[in-house]
Chain A
Amino acid sequence: QKEVEQNSGPLSVPEGAIASLNCTYSDRGSQSFFWYRQYSGKSPELIMFIYSNGDKEDGRFTAQLNKASQYVSLLIRDSQPSDSATYLCAVKKSGGGADGLTFGKGTHLIIQP
């Protein structure tokens, strides 16, 4: 089982709709969860982080965490063509400490005008 799994896509969503991106992780000891956006040829850009079970909202983005199911998701409301990118789910195995982030391979999102 891969440590962090994402559907590679492409996920195609019409403009204005809600895009739903999902991620599962294998290490129950994981404490911190991150969503990064990466445009082709560019570096990852932090979208959101979440540490506690439940929902966390920031503008058009909502991150959802369910530690019992080892599941993280990102919802993008009112999707725009500029949201078209690869979305990377990342997990940190401990609340603090020396570990780097473990990334999924990313989901390629396409917002259709």
Chain B
Amino acid sequence: NAGVMQNPRHLVRRRGQEARLRCSPMKGHSHVYWYRQLPEEGLKFMVYLQKENIIDESGMPKERFSAEFPKEGPSILRIQQVVRGDSAAYFCASTAGEGDTQYFGPGTRLTVL
């Protein structure tokens, strides 16, 4: 399967714990976008990364959220000290280059108890 991969598919955390979401882009793609979809809401852009660089983090909450895309390995979206309002589906999308069409992974459903 050469598509965008995300894991875990489902993640349950208690308030105050940390959540780590991973995204492996499609083969040949080096650009990753993270989106969040809250219940009954549309998809909201969070952050755009290239290998070892954060290009645009204008959609990221100012606190507790961080993202990275190291030279080797998947992109990681990290949420520290999770709260119930963080419960959502988190999707990543990848492209081969800027402006290219974005293809989405299956998402990680985060539930905060």
- Binding site of B, secondary structure by majority: helix, strand, loop or mixed? strand
State the total of A-B contacts with C-beta under 8 angstroms: 59
Minimum CB–CB distance from B11 to chain A (whole Å) comes to: 15
Contacts of A101 in B (CB 8 A): 33, 35, 43, 45, 102
Contacts of B106 in A (CB 8 A): 42-43
Minimum CB–CB distance from A108 to chain B (whole Å) comes to: 11
Q: Residues of A with Cβ closer than 8 Å to B?
A: 4, 32, 34, 36, 42-46, 49, 88, 90, 92, 95-106
Contacts of A100 in B (CB 8 A): 33, 35, 45-48, 56, 59
Tell me which of A46, A95, A100 has the highest count of chain B C-beta atoms within 10 A of its own C-beta.
Answer: A100
Taking CB as reference atom, which chain B residue is nearest A44?
B104
Taking CB as reference atom, which chain A residue is nearest B40?
A105
Q: Are B42 and A103 in contact (CB under 8 A)?
A: yes
Q: Are A49 and B101 in contact (CB under 8 A)?
A: yes
A and B contact pairs by CB, cutoff 8 A, 15 listed:
A42-B106, A43-B105, A49-B101, A90-B43, A96-B98, A97-B98, A98-B55, A99-B45, A100-B33, A100-B48, A100-B59, A101-B102, A103-B43, A105-B41, A105-B42
